[in-house]
Amino acid sequence: MLKKPWQDRTTHVSMTPDVFLGRLASLVPRPGKNTLIYYGVLAGNARDREKIVPKPPRKTTRREDSSFAVLMRRSFGIDILSCRVCKGRVELVAVILDRKEVRRLLTHLRIWSDPLPVHPARGPPDEPETFDFP
């Protein structure tokens, strides 16, 4: 039933449930779409907007430290830059990329230096999984 009759004196509109849901769904805005629109002085490009609406605070250009040590401390509570023995700060002395030198250093520090064994890849499952639900 319509609130007011149309010009052609139609007072009722009948439709199937599918058509009704389609028309109802077309009224729902897309996700992230702005549904609030400002007019007049509050509009985004209004001439006198800066006299009424305060300017947002300036964003700083300083970047947050995202080094590996900071991420480990923030995520797991582990401070990897503190010495386990004397609790002092650890400094980066060198980056060693040569395999022989890395193995020699790890052996000297009595840290396990042999690589983990590589397991062969497994084949596909024997029977395909089905997603039939009762």
Q: Where residue 74 falls among pLDDT bands split at 50, 70, 90?
A: confident
Counting residues of the chain whose pLDDT is more than 90, the rounded percentage is 10
**What kind and span of H or E run contains 100?**
helix 99-108
Sign of CA dihedral 119, 120, 126, 128: positive
Ordered by start, the domain boundaries in the chain are 68-108
Q: Which residues contact 106 (CB under 8 A, 6 or more apart)?
A: 112, 113
pLDDT reading at 129 higher than 70: no
pLDDT reading at 51 higher than 90: no
Name the token pair of 123: 């084949």
Alpha carbon dihedral 25, 28, 33, 36, in 10-degree steps, equals 160
What does the pLDDT read at residue 134?
58
